[in-house]
Amino acid sequence: MTTILEKTTGLVAFVRTAEEGSFSAASRVIGSSQSAVSKSVARLEGRLGIRLFQRSTRTLRLTAEGQTYYDRVAPLLRAIDEADDLAAGASTVLGLLRISAPQEFGRMLIAGWVAEFLEQYPDVKIELNVTDRFVDIIREGYDVAIRMGTLTDSELISRKITDLNWVLVASPAYVRKNGLPSNINELASHQGLRYAVSGKPWPVAFANGTTLLLNSRFDTDDAGAIRKASLAGAGIAYLLRVTVTDDLAAGDLVQILPDHPLIKLPAYALHGFGRQLPARTRLFIDFLLDKAIQSDI
């Protein structure tokens, strides 16, 4: 009869290889040799009778069977890590912290703050996935995900981090050529740069309840591209203020309709741990909240 120890042989090597993308990277995380990790995964494939990875000289990718196996096994190993974390107590903070965040929040905020968190907790490793896609937090094995706007995941635990400010901006060159709109009606006649998800552009939403869909010849789901287009004078952009704070301070962009307040965009931290929240996850959420309070975002 196969023992539970024999069944679990190679699981750590497999999961870490899948997460790190190569045997060499996995070996550094595990603290073993690349050869040992590769052989351990090969033995696991032999025991299961399936190919977990597609291998070539340059790439290593999960097969369909490997992805299915990872989806089932990775949460089990993470649960063991979390049990160790809980048993060790809040004074010991360690392990891998997997975070998913929207592009601008991840790039402008978390990436800028992460060094401070890692300095405070040297036994924590962070894996940050920056995407506007709504990840499946539990199935994909994330500790915490940042979501902005209206929440729909009723089974997840949420904590509000902050309210993000929107701003309308344009370059000085655009203003010299086209003038400054003095009210919302005049804004409607200007050329806009629109953020669009699945082909659906976001309207400008004012605090008084008025919404306006800007005229536009440029729609994109990349806020960074909108920022660059606005800097080049292509039109008026509707962006999170954190995206263009430095540009406004430098005078490379000017605020449009500053006397017409815009709505705020709530940002939340979500997790699926219930009350058994690992110390590293709880402390990271607390850290985000503190940094948001300290920052003008």
pTM of the model: 0.65
Q: Six-digit token pair at 202?
A: 């976001």
Q: Which of 82-86, 259-263, 272-276 has the lowest mean pLDDT?
A: 82-86
Q: Six-digit token pair at 252?
A: 């490379």
pLDDT at 1 over 50: no
pLDDT at 89 over 80: no
All CATH 3.40.190.10 domain ranges in the chain, comma separated: 163-265
Helix (H) or strand (E) holding 76: helix 64-88
CATH number of 1-77: 1.10.10.10
Instruction: Categorize the per-residue pLDDT at 102 as very low, low, confident or very high, splitting at 50, 70 and 90.
Output: confident
> What one-letter code names the amino acid at 174?
Y
Are 203 and 263 contacting, i.e. CB atoms less than 8 angstroms apart? no
SS3 percent helix, strand, coil of the chain, rounded to 5, is 45, 25, 30
Tell me how far apart the alpha carbons of residues 72 and 114 are, in angstroms, rounded to a whole number.
Answer: 29
DSSP 8-class letter at 109: I
Are 193 and 230 contacting, i.e. CB atoms less than 8 angstroms apart? yes
Q: Residue 261: which region, alpha, beta or left (left: phi > 0; alpha: psi -120 to 50)?
A: beta
pLDDT in tens, 284-296: 999 998 888 777 6
Q: What is the pLDDT of residue 55?
A: 83
pLDDT in tens, 191-245: 999 998 778 899 999 999 999 999 999 999 888 899 999 999 999 999 999 889 9
Q: What is the pLDDT of residue 146?
A: 92
Q: How many CB atoms lie within 10 A of CB 211?
A: 11
Q: Which of 2-11, 63-72, 169-178, 248-257 has the lowest mean pLDDT?
A: 2-11
Q: Which CATH superfamily is domain 163-265 in?
A: Periplasmic binding protein-like II (3.40.190.10)
Q: Which of 20-34, 247-261, 279-293 has the lowest mean pLDDT?
A: 20-34
Q: What is the pLDDT of residue 70?
A: 86
All CATH 1.10.10.10 domain ranges in the chain, comma separated: 1-77
CA angle 267, 271, 273 (to 5 degrees): 155
Q: What are phi and psi of 7, to 5 degrees?
A: -65, -30
